[in-house]
Structure 1
C-alpha cells in the first residue's frame, strides 16, 4: 500500500502515549541528550525508495528516537542519515526477517561493512522506537503510542475553498517547463473573504544528490484580485531569467490568519521532495519555510536540443557477463584469474543461479567474483536476434577492464576487459551493429574506480604505480591527485573514502584538473576517455551514479561530448525527479525509474490515478525534448526483475498472472512517449529478485534454457506496433482523457494522425465511453486486431481487454 506517515510529537510525555505518564514525570530522571546529537536519521527502504524524506525522519524524545508509520506486510529498510554515514547507519545483524513486536539489536554501518537490510512485517498504524542501550542500537515496533502534534487540520471555509492546478491552463500558463526568459502567469481561485494573496517564488540550490534540498526566496509578488460570480481569481506574473529548478507557493490571509496553498502530499517515487504538482492543498502557515511543499517549475536553456534519433530508440539493455558466451577462450579461469587478491569462481553450467555469498549456495565469502563467460563476441553473435526483436539501440553496462563481474570497479578506462575481448572487438561490435541499424551506448563511472586498478593499485597487480600502491599512499604516482587520502589512519580501509562505504570503489576527486583532462579533455594527449570511445563507435554515454559527481563536472563534460559529436546522446543514472539534469547544460535523458515504479505498481493492480500522478509530474516538469527521449525501463541490473516484482516467485507466486500483468506493463511502455528499454531476458520470461538474482544468465535454448517463446512473440508484436506507427514515438500527449481506478486513456497526435491509447489493469475487460479532444479524428483502426472504431457525437466507446490495452490509430488526415 502507499505508506502514510502520521504526525509526530516532540514532547517526552506524549512519546510514551498516556496522560498519566506526565503525573509520574517528577519521579523519572531528566531526559537524556540525543545519542546522535543534532544528526537527523530516517527510515529508508522499499516503502519510500530508500530516500531521506522529511516525513520519514525520526524524532528524539527523552529516551529514544520515535516514528509513527502506517504500513502493511513485509518491508525492507535501514535507518540512516541523509548521507548514509557509516556511524549513523543501522541495519540488521541477520538476513532473515526480525520478529515483529520484539526488541531487536541492530548493527551500525561502522561495526559491520554492510549490515543486512532490516526486514520487518508491519501491521497498520504502529510506532517504531530506536533506543541505545549501553551504546548499542535496539529497534522495537509496537502499537501506535507516539502522540500527534501540530496545528491540526484547516477548517476555515474560505481557506478550504482555495484552489490552484499547476497543469490547468487557466491557473498557470504556459504549461510545463519553459525556456529561460519566459514569463509565467499564475492564478489562485478563492471564495470571497481573502484579505490578500502573495505568490512566493524561490530558486532551488542545484548541487549534487537530492539530499541537498534548499530553496532561496527570489520574489514575493502581491497578487491582484479579480472578482467573479461567487469566486475570485487572484493573479500574478513572474519572469524566470535563468535555467534552474524553481519552487512556488501562495501565502493567503483570511480573517487575520495566514495560510499557505502548496503542492499536494503525493509521494514521487525515489524522490525526497514530496508533491506531484497538479492540484495543490491548503495548510496552516508553518513556522519555517522548509516545511512548505513547493510546486516545482523547471526553466531550461533556450538552445537545449536532444539528438533527434533518441525518441525513436528501443533499447536492448545488456549485462554483458550474463548475456552470451561467444568465445570460451577468454573465460576467467579459477586458480589463474584473480579478483583483487582473491580467487574467482566460474559457473560451468550456464543456467546456474548467480552466487550470493553467505547464503549457503556453495559460493565463497566474496561478492562479485563469480563468472559465466559472457563477452562481446556473444553480443555480436546475437545482433540479428536483437534486430529481429525490434530493438535499435544497445545499452551495455561497463565493458572496460575491471576485477568484478559487473565492471563498475574500473581498472583501465582505455581497454576492454580481457574476458570480454579486445578493443578491436568493441569496434567490430559497433560496426556490425551499425550495419543492422543498431546504435551502441557505452556506460562508465567517473565517480569512482576500482581499488584493483592501474590508477589505485591497492593489490599491486599492475606495472604502473598506483595512488595506493600495495596499500601504501604513493604521492609519486601520476594518479595521486585523483584521490583523497588520510595518512593519519592506521587501518588501510580508513585511509581513503570508498563510495557508499564500498572500499573496493575508491572515490575519485572529480575536481582534480588532471582527472578532468583524462576523462573528457578535448586537447588531452591521448584524447579524453569520453572522446576515445565515441571514436571507437559509441553513440553516446550512460553515466553511472550521476548525482554523486559535481554538477560543474557534468557541465564541462557535456560541452566536450557535444563538441566532439553533436548527435551523441547523454543519459544520467538518476532514480528520482531528474529535472535538475534536464536543463540543457548536463544530460539529454535519464534512466526513468519513476516510470518503472509507476507502471509496475499500476500493472500489479494499483489504482491508476495514484501511479499516473508520477507520470504527469514528469510530463510537466521535464522539457519536452527530454521527456520524449527518456529511457523508459521496467527491469534493471539494480532492481528486481519485473516478473519477480509482479509475483511470479515464492510459495505464493502465480507465474501465469505475473506474465499477464507484465504484458500490460510492456504494452504501456510501447505506446508511451520516450524510449522503451528491454532488459536482456525479460522478453523470454527471465525472472529474479534483487542483485544478484536480477543478473542471471539469458536462458538460451542451446544452453539448456527454456525461453518463453509466447512472451517473446508478444514483445515483438508490441515493438513492431511502435515502429509501424510514428504517432506512438512522436505524437503529442496531454493529460489522460479518461482516468479511473483501472483504465487510462490517452490521446496522441502527430500531424494529422491521432492515436487513442488505453490500458486496463482489471481482471476483466472494461468498456469506457470517452469524449474526444477538439479536432480529433472520427474513425480509428485497432493497431493489433485491425478492428475499426467510429466516434459518434464527439465520443468513442472503447472496450479494453483485461490486463492489456488498445491502440487505435486514425488514418492520416491531410491538413
Structure 2
C-alpha cells in the first residue's frame, strides 16, 4: 500500500497543472533550458529541451544508467545554469553536476520557488509535450535550397576572401511573393561561450520564372576573412518564414545543422533561434604543409608507452624532483601491465592507491620511444604526436613546470634531439604538445608548494608581487582561501591560468629568440599541437603562427578543438585540429548507428573547412581524454565483435581524407574507459602483456593500403554516392583517376546499387577481390559485414 501511495504522489508531482487559473508565467521568461550532459556531449540539443507548462519545466527523457548533467541554456548563462547543489538538487551556478540513475522512459520536472531555489523531480513518463503547430503554407513548404547543389549555390564550400557567391532558391507552386538573402558575420570566442551573429547585409533577391512556381537569386561578394552566416527570409500571402539550416546535431558543436538541403519554419520572434548556414572565407594565401595530407600519426602518451631507461623512473621517497608530486609522494607501479590507479572519490571505494590523482608512474620515457622507432615505422606511421614531455610533476605533464626542459623522468633535452634525429632517419616527424594557457601550481613560475627556489608568483601559497612571473597571472588578494586567490583553468587549482595578454608571457612563449615556440622547432620538432586552443585569444594565435612559420616554414600547427573548428582555418591561426567530430561520427557508425548521421557530420566539415585544412585533419578514433575506441565499441560486452567493429572504423579512417591517428596500443587491442584507464601501458609481450597479433596485422594492412594508393590521400572527396543506415559509399577523384570506397556497419553483408559520377566499364578491387562490373553507369556492389571495399578505375 505504501508503495502505491508513493507512486501516486510521484505521478502527481510530475503532472502539469490542469486548470488555467493555476498557471503562472514562466519564471525565466523566454529562456529555453536544455538537459546537457554525458548522454549528449554536453550540447544543447532539441531532443533534450525543457517545455514550460503552468508551474514547472518538463522534459521527457529516455536514458539508461547513471548520467551526469546540468540544466542550462545554450549560452551557459550563469543565472540560467543549474548544477548539482545540496542534497543533489539543482542550484544556480553550482560547479558540480547533477547525477541521476535512469531506467528507460522518464519525465523530469524542474520547479523554481519564489526565493530562486530549484527542485528536480524524476519519475515515470507522464508529460505530454505541446504538439508543434503544423505548417500548411504550400508556397513556403515547397521552397528549396541546397548548399551543396550547384543549382542553388556556387561555388561550393569554403572560399578565399574576395569571392563572389551566387545563391538561388525556388519553389514548385505559386505564392512566394518576396525573398531576402540575409548575410551575417559570426562572432565566437572561447569554448563556444560567446556565439552570436551581427547583421551585415539584407539583399532583395531577384525573381525569375520556375515552372509553376518562382525562383529568386542573388549574389554577394565576401570581401573579408571570417565565418559568415546566411539564411533566407520568405514572404507569402500567409506570413513570413525562415529558409534555414536543418536540425542535425553536430558532435560537440553548439550550432545545429549539417548544411545541405534547407528546412523552412515560421520566422521566429527571436533571431537567435534561426539556424544559419555557415560560410568560411579564408585568406587567399592560406597554405598547409604539403606533407600533412600524407601523414599517419602514432599518438603517444609517453609515460605509458615504453620504459627504456629505468634509472630515471620516479620512485617514492627518493630525493629527486621527479620523486615528488606537489606536497605528496609519487606512486610507483610494481608491474608494467597493472591498471592505472584511480583514487577513491567522495563516497566511492578506491583501488588501494593513495587519494591523489595523476601521481602514479610506470616509467615510460623518450629512451623507450627511441628503442621502438622501428616498431612504430613498421605500422606505416610517419609522424609521432606526443602529449607533453616538458618538466611537470604529474604523469600527464599538462601542469608544466619548465617549458624549456624535458622532464627528468623522460630524459634530457639531448634525448629529445636524438629522438628527432633517429625518427628522421626512418622518415618520421615528431610533433610535441604543450599548453600556453596554464602552467602547474608546482612550478618555478608559480611555486605554490615551495619545491623551487623563491621567486614564483605564488611562493609557498602567498602572492608574490616581486616575482618576474607575477604579471603572468591575475590574482584576487582579498580572497581568504588560497584556492580562490587565482584563477585555475576551468576551476582546477592545480593549473593556474595564464593571462595571455601579458607581454612578458608572450615574449617567453613565442616572441623571444629563445622562446618556447622557437626553441623546440630548432631542436628538431616538425610542428606543434597546442592544448585547449579555444581558451587562448585569437590574436595570440595569429602572432604565434607567424613566429612558427618564420622559424620553420613547413612546420604543422594543430589545435586541440572538439567542435566545428572553421574559425581556426582562415589562414591566420592553425593548419589542422584534433578531429573529435570525426571520432564520434565514425565510432558511432562502427558501433551500429545510422550511416546517415555519420555522413551528415562529415559532410559539414567537407563544406565548412578549406580543402587544404580538410586534407590535413588529425582524424582520431581514440585519445587520452576519451574512452578508447575498443571500449566505445563494446569490449566489455563482446570483445571479438568490438575488435571487428574497430577494424571497420580503422578501414574508414584509412580511406578518408585527412591524417589518421593511431593511439598507442589500439593496434594490438588495448582498451580502457574513462581517464585514467584510457592511459593504460602498452601491453608489450616482454613485459607480460598479450598484444593481439592478428589485429596488428590488420592495422598494418590498412596503413599499407593508404600509402599504396595516393588517391586515398590526395583524391578530392565528392558528395556521397549512397548513404543508408548501414552502407556509405564515397567517391574520390584525382585528375582522370577515381576511387570508390564503401563501408558496411551491419553484421550481415549488404548489397546496394548506385550511379557512378564518371564513365567506366569495370572497377578494380584494391584489396585483391574480384573486379566489379559497371552496367549503364551503375554498380551493384556487395559489401562484407563490418568492413569495406576500395574500388579503383583501371
Q: TM-score, normalised by structure 1?
A: 0.90
The match for 1:397 among 383, 387, 399 is: 387
Structure 1: distance between partners of 2:609 and 2:228: 13
Structure 2 residue aligned with 1:304: 286
2:731, 2:740 within 8 Å by CA — same for their partners in 1?
yes
Structure 2 residue aligned with 1:3: none
Structure 1: distance between partners of 2:539 and 2:152: 35
**Residue 421 to residue 565, structure 1, CA distance change in 2 (3 Å):** same
Report deviation, 1:302.
0.5
Report deviation, 1:799.
1.6
Structure 2: distance between partners of 1:644 and 1:369: 24
The match for 2:36 among 28, 39, 44 is: 44
Structure 1 residue aligned with 2:752: 768
2:326 equivalent to 1:333:
no
Structure 1 residue aligned with 2:734: 750
**Residue 750 to residue 338, structure 1, CA distance change in 2 (3 Å):** same
Structure 2: distance between partners of 1:253 and 1:151: 21
Structure 2: distance between partners of 1:89 and 1:442: 38
**Residue 694 to residue 119, structure 1, CA distance change in 2 (3 Å):** farther
2:617 equivalent to 1:630:
yes
Structure 2 residue aligned with 1:90: 83
Unmatched 5+ residue regions in structure 2? Answer: 1-11
1:74, 1:122 within 8 Å by CA — same for their partners in 2?
yes
Report deviation, 1:61.
7.3
The match for 1:238 among 212, 220, 226 is: 220
Report deviation, 1:208.
2.4
SS in 2 for 1:556: helix
SS in 1 for 2:561: coil
Structure 1 residue aligned with 2:343: 357
The match for 2:600 among 593, 596, 613 is: 613
Structure 1 residue aligned with 2:551: 564
Which is further off, 145-154 or 318-327? Answer: 145-154
Structure 2: distance between partners of 1:55 and 1:474: 50
The superposition leaves residues 476-520 of structure 1 with CA deviations (integer Å, 9 ceiling, x where unpaired) of 100000000000001000100111110000100001111011111
Structure 1: distance between partners of 2:766 and 2:121: 55
2:474 equivalent to 1:484:
yes
2:363 equivalent to 1:376:
no
Structure 1 residue aligned with 2:710: 726
2:173 equivalent to 1:183:
no
Structure 2: distance between partners of 1:663 and 1:360: 34
Report deviation, 1:654.
0.7
Give the 5 Å matches for 1:278-677: 278-336=260-318, 337-358=323-344, 359-521=349-511, 524-525=512-513, 527-649=514-636, 653-677=637-661
Structure 2 residue aligned with 1:73: 64
2:174, 2:213 within 8 Å by CA — same for their partners in 1?
yes
Give the 5 Å matches for 1:16-55: 17-18=15-16, 20-24=18-22, 42-52=34-44
The match for 1:127 among 99, 104, 108 is: 108
Report deviation, 1:106.
4.1
Structure 1: distance between partners of 2:109 and 2:283: 46
**Residue 519 to residue 69, structure 1, CA distance change in 2 (3 Å):** farther
Structure 2: distance between partners of 1:642 and 1:606: 15
Structure 2: distance between partners of 1:202 and 1:71: 37
1:331, 1:419 within 8 Å by CA — same for their partners in 2?
yes
Structure 1: distance between partners of 2:83 and 2:186: 30
Structure 2: distance between partners of 1:471 and 1:38: 45
| Structure 1 residue ranges, 4+ long, deviating more than 6 angstroms after superposition | 30-34, 37-41, 59-63, 84-87, 107-111, 132-136
Structure 2: distance between partners of 1:804 and 1:174: 34
SS in 1 for 2:243: strand
2:14, 2:108 within 8 Å by CA — same for their partners in 1?
no
Structure 2 residue aligned with 1:101: none
SS in 2 for 1:640: coil
SS in 2 for 1:245: strand
1:186, 1:235 within 8 Å by CA — same for their partners in 2?
yes
2:783 equivalent to 1:800:
yes
Structure 2 residue aligned with 1:250: 232
**Residue 767 to residue 701, structure 1, CA distance change in 2 (3 Å):** same
1:570, 1:588 within 8 Å by CA — same for their partners in 2?
yes
2:14, 2:107 within 8 Å by CA — same for their partners in 1?
no
Structure 2: distance between partners of 1:92 and 1:325: 44
Report deviation, 1:723.
0.4
Structure 1: distance between partners of 2:496 and 2:50: 31
Structure 2: distance between partners of 1:479 and 1:499: 17
Report deviation, 1:182.
0.5
Structure 1: distance between partners of 2:452 and 2:51: 50
Structure 1: distance between partners of 2:529 and 2:641: 34
2:26, 2:52 within 8 Å by CA — same for their partners in 1?
no
Which is further off, 227-236 or 144-153? Answer: 144-153
SS in 2 for 1:796: strand
